[in-house]
Amino acid sequence: MNKYIPYNITCPLASCSRSNTCARYANYQKAKAEEASFIILNTDLLQVEGEGCPYHLVYEHQRWARGFTRLCDSIPSGNARYLNVYTPFSQRRFYKAKNGEFPLDPEMQEALLEVFKKRGADISLGFDSYEDQNVLVEK
């Protein structure tokens, strides 16, 4: 039964021991008060055991980054060639990420910093800018 459940699905299970911290339950309460219709989990089929609810979501504060032109510029010229090949991006997506056209999550930042470190970049420079985001995560 543990198939993927989208993050926008709400949970009406007030009796759950984790409902006080669950974003799904909070979204259910909000939708119940404001929305004409919304999607909920089928509580008849839920397998909730104590603290182990597999559908529990919480908002987590994360620091996302944008752009890495300074990091690229700090790589010694002999090591900078074909840099995009060492990243998880296609060539076009690499340049969009480099220019800060979309945010990079903490996991991607870590992977990129490792690439830059191996290529000799000054990773103390960090990314070009940062922004804080509240993100839903399973816990």
Residue ranges covered by each domain of the chain: 1-55, 61-138
pLDDT at 111 exceeding the cut of 50 = yes
Q: pTM for the whole thing?
A: 0.76
Q: What is the pLDDT of residues 83-108, one digit of tens each?
A: 889 999 999 999 999 999 999 999 99
Instruction: Give the per-residue pLDDT at 49.
Output: 65
Q: What is the pLDDT of residues 27-56, one digit of tens each?
A: 999 999 999 999 998 878 777 666 678 888
Reported as a pLDDT band with limits 50, 70 and 90, residue 22 is: very high
Q: Are strands 57-66 and 129-138 parallel, antiparallel or unpaired?
A: antiparallel
pLDDT over 90, % of the chain: 70
Query: Do the Cβ atoms of 62 and 131 come closer than 8 Å?
Result: no
